[in-house]
């Protein structure tokens, strides 16, 4: 009520001063009256709007749940003016920008790693390449998983030199119907003579192990 009065008392808002003159009982009565009905119209409207958007999306929805957004991530190094963790976590924000959102230094076999915080069955990984140049730098890579960060197991290796896209609707997609149990997942660029790792986004899908 005090904020309502302080906004303005000039012009057509001169009557706002009445909100500062209410007794405590009148304020309680006003709250009871205005908070009596739960209105989910906007909630339901936007939920419906978002669901319909999939009909026009470049990317088909996954069969599984997105499990990478908001998790902890790291990488071998960064060229950006921020911490390694901040740079690594930029590519699991869920925002596709069509450009490199993280960037390691030039080094042998640069890597990116995510801590999923729980054990999951990993079924699908979508890797979104930058679309503003240098797409070939991340053409070849391996994907490794671990449950304890001590022992790693390679589940996929791409070494065909073929370029893939991202925001254009053609990210690289790895899928496994049976899935792999993992708490940690690492993407390593195959560059024994030196290279960079930079992606737009990485999306990991799966189901938590109860």
DSSP per residue over 133-191, as a string? S-GGGGSSEEEEEESSSSS-EEEEEE-S-----BTTS--EEEEEEEEEEEEEEEEEE--
Neighbours of 112 (CB within 10 A): 25
Alpha-carbon distance of 165 to 141, in angstroms, equals 15
Alpha-carbon distance of 138 to 190, in angstroms, equals 8
And the tokens for 204?
């990991």
Nearest CA-CA partner of 205 in 86, 47, 66: 66
pLDDT digits (tens, 9 = 90+) for 26-63: 988 888 888 767 888 998 888 888 777 767 777 888 99
Quick check: pTM over 0.95?
Answer: no
pLDDT digits (tens, 9 = 90+) for 63-118: 999 999 999 999 999 999 999 999 999 999 999 999 999 999 999 999 999 999 99
């Amino acid at each position: 009520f005090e904020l309502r009065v302080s906004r303005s008392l000039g012009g057509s808002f001169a009557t706002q001063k009445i909100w500062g003159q209410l007794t405590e009982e009148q304020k309680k009565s006003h709250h009871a009256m205005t908070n009596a009905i739960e209105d989910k119209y906007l909630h339901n409207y936007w939920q419906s709007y978002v669901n319909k958007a999939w009909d026009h999306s470049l990317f088909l929805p996954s069969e599984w749940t997105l499990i990478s957004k908001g998790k902890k991530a790291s990488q071998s190094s960064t060229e950006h003016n921020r911490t390694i963790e901040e740079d690594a976590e930029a590519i699991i924000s869920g925002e596709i920008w069509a450009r490199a959102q993280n960037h390691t230094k030039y080094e042998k076999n640069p890597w990116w790693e995510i801590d999923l915080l729980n054990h999951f069955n990993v079924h699908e990984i979508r890797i979104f390449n930058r679309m503003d140049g240098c797409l070939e730098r991340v053409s070849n890579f391996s994907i490794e998983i671990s449950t304890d960060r001590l022992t790693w197991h390679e589940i996929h290796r791409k070494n065909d030199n073929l370029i893939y896209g991202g925001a254009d609707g053609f990210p690289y997609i790895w899928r496994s119907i049976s899935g792999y149990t993992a708490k940690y997942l690492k993407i390593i660029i195959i560059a024994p003579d030196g290279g960079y790792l930079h992606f737009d986004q990485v999306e990991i899908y799966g189901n938590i192990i109860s």
